[in-house]
Amino acid sequence: MMRQYELVEKVAAYKPELDEALLNRAYVYAMQKHGSQKRASGDPYFSHPLEVAAILTDMHLDEATVAVALLHDTIEDTDATRKEIDQLFGPKIGQLVEGLTKLKKLDLVSKKAAQAENLRKLLLAIADDIRVLLVKLADRLHNMRTLGPMAPEKRARIAQETMDIYAPLAGRMGMQDMRDELEQLSFRHLNLDAFETITARLAELKERHEGTIAAIERDLTAKLKENGIQASVSGRQKTAYSVFSKMQRKALSLEQLSDIFGFRVIVDSDEACYRTLGIVHRTWPMVPGRFKDYISTPKQNDYRSLHTTIVGPSRQRVELQIRTKDMHDVAEYGVAAHALYKDGETSGAVHLSKESNAYGWLRRTIELLASGDNPEEFLEHTKLELFQDQVFCFTPKGRLIALPRGATPIDFAYAVHSEVGDNCVGCKIDGRIMPVVTELANGDEVEIICAKGQIPPQAWENIAVTGKARAAIRRAARTQIRKQYSGIGQQILDRTFARAGKMYSREALKPLLGKLGHREIEDALAAVGRGELKPTDVLRAAFPDYQESRAARAAEKGEDEGWFNLRTAAGMIFRVPGRSKAKARTNGRAIPIRGAGEDMPVRFGPDGAVPGDRIVGIIDPGKGITIYPIQSPALTAYDDEPDRWVDVRWDLDEAMSERFPARIMLSAKNEPGSLAEIAETIAINDANIHNLSMISTAPDFTKMVIELEVWDIQHLTQTLRQLRAKPCVADVTRVNG
């Protein structure tokens, strides 16, 4: 384990004017707090934050970042508090340590949601200070290096999370060396057989081609020197995971890969990069389609280099990366290579560089946090952006827009501006009108055709690739639905206030919003339109002394215009929140109703509902309203879509002679006459069998589902009670979902 003075010496080697006292305090405090704690391997726990600090010193980061690394687990795993760390090390370091602390007591419904919330918190902390990310990645790297003693299930979970989130996040921040190691370690734990097979083959290839690699390094260096260019040439071999992923992605065998070995050529200037490229192409044949200029058009993580593939001296393909020393530092260490994070400033936040493409991506990702998406959606969209390769497209004015591969003009429009995306009605690609679902390619010039008042179709959410576009499309859909409900609410309040002889206006609602529990007028109106807020409650909030008349009380109970009847063809009536007059359709016939803005079909869910059930309606766009019993498990699928719920009630005509659907599951003895006895019992109780299906048959019992038609809940309960009393029936229950 590294000693205190050794850590100080490592930092002093690249930062002579360091705050030595800060490092000493952090070292001693963390050691005391972790005390006798042990890791799963049996090592002292303090060895972990110390190794994380050592990883950051290899990146030449400032002493404040190294101190945060020493302290990063104190709040989470010891009795240390944020207040105590603020007092000893300053509020900035306290803020960084807290940003790295996991969420411990969240009442979340799934591990996936917990993972997403942790990622949310991490990215918000990174937005304030990028050093949070550097410490977090170093923390994950050391955990992956020491994952062996963990239980197999935990190893697999942590490795998968690293592969899904942290490795690509390191790549997006330009930290390629760290990404490679994180992927390699994760690959080993997730697919050990493939890891060992490919590693062994790569070792064989390296031994076989060792002389060739040395010869290429020597020949290339000599050729450049002849032309007056001082260059450092080094060969490298792809990692096992990068080989495996390319084999999977392109369906190739190991023997078919042409770029297992590559060479880096490091020169002094941008000009020397292009001169080197010209010398290489004049000396050896270039492989067509394999040249990429990331100097004039950097990657989104700030990576800059020239890439080319040539047919080398031994007639084999050789991949070359040509870059300067500064480009190489950024390629290896990403954001950690920027002097911005090594200035030793500990009193204020380390701000995001406006020139950095990596931070541009980070800012766009953090924009999703404000869009109100649930945690799982945020995690899904972040993964999408982390994993995608890129295409570079241009606006008609020449602005460069970087998008994930597979992006469409819809994504392009939202990348330009959210308003452009919302108003998009078409596009031109390279001057030609094309469908908005066209997949964009590198170099495309895209012009978005807009129309004011346009609303993005909800189907676009399934076409868009970027999280920003998907979130904006959902947001526009929610806004439109809220607008529709607020219009309904406005009409209901107009009538309610007019009936009471009171003046109503939208502006009069402003001072009442606090009482009504809403922030905006539109929200309050939409709540009235959905039936969540009673119009008489709004009236009483505006006029506390108002005495309700009988008519007003009747309206509140649904006996007047506050609620309207929705009648099906068979005669059953539902009560729905007040809307305009229309006709509903069910079973192909039109029925006059009051309560919908257009023809609205009404149907039951697959397991039916009977009078006496508490029921709810779900709006199916384009299909009408589907009625479910309130206890139906099928309703859980709509928990996150409150705008689709409609309050409905039974309002039956006593003279109506109509049965209603209900489904029961019955387990009967497998003996002659059982089915006949069950059918007779149902018939005696004046119920009707609409359908019957056998689920499973065993030597002793048969399980079946029977679709009944009954008068109401009492009739159904009586029928079930009579069936349970039969000796041939082992069990019978009603099925809901």
> Alpha-carbon distance 544 to 307, whole Å?
75
**Sheet of strand 432-434: strand arrangement:** 432-434, 424-429, 446-450
Question: Which 3-state string (H, E, C) describes 13-62?
Answer: HHCCCCCHHHHHHHHHHHHHHHCCCECCCCCECCHHHHHHHHHHHHCCCC
For residues 558 and 644, the answer to whether their CB atoms sit within 8 Å is no
The alpha carbon dihedral of 694, 696, 697, 701 has a sign of negative
For residues 678 and 624, the answer to whether their CB atoms sit within 8 Å is no
Helix boundaries (H) for 576-686? 674-684
> Alpha-carbon distance 621 to 644, whole Å?
9
Strands 317-324 and 261-267: parallel
Map residue 441 onto helix, strand or coil.
coil
Name, in order, each residue with C-beta under 8 angstroms of 445's C-beta and a sequence gap of 6 or more. Answer: 393, 394, 395, 396, 429, 430, 431
> Alpha-carbon distance 322 to 218, whole Å?
16
- Residues facing residue 668 across a β-bridge: 702, 729
For residues 552 and 543, the answer to whether their CB atoms sit within 8 Å is no
Per the listing, tokens 């292009």 go with 274
> Alpha-carbon distance 531 to 578, whole Å?
8
Per the annotation, the verdict on 76 as an active-site residue is: yes
> Alpha-carbon distance 313 to 270, whole Å?
26
Amino acid at 268: D
For residues 302 and 332, the answer to whether their CB atoms sit within 8 Å is no
- Residues facing residue 525 across a β-bridge: none
In which element (H, E) is residue 243 found? helix 240-250
Per the annotation, the verdict on 77 as an active-site residue is: yes
> Alpha-carbon distance 37 to 33, whole Å?
9
Residues in the chain: 737
> Alpha-carbon distance 293 to 327, whole Å?
13
Report CA 159 to chain centroid distance, whole Å. Answer: 19
For residues 412 and 446, the answer to whether their CB atoms sit within 8 Å is yes
- Residues facing residue 701 across a β-bridge: 669
For residues 154 and 49, the answer to whether their CB atoms sit within 8 Å is no
Catalytic member of 77, 84, 161, 537:
77
692-700: which pairs have CB atoms within 8 A and are 24 or more residues apart? 695/665, 697/670, 698/670, 699/670, 700/669, 700/670
- Residues facing residue 693 across a β-bridge: 705
Name, in order, each residue with C-beta under 8 angstroms of 64's C-beta and a sequence gap of 6 or more. Answer: 19, 22, 92, 93, 131, 344, 345, 346
Token reading at 523: 């929200």
Helices (runs of H) and strands (runs of E) counted in the chain: 30, 23
- DSSP assignment, residue 352? P
> Alpha-carbon distance 710 to 687, whole Å?
5
- Cβ-based burial of 669 (10 A; exposed 0-12, middle 13-18, buried ≥19): middle
- Residues facing residue 613 across a β-bridge: 611
Catalytic member of 20, 43, 76, 643:
76
For residues 640 and 692, the answer to whether their CB atoms sit within 8 Å is no
For residues 595 and 529, the answer to whether their CB atoms sit within 8 Å is no
Which of the residues are catalytic?
A: 76-77
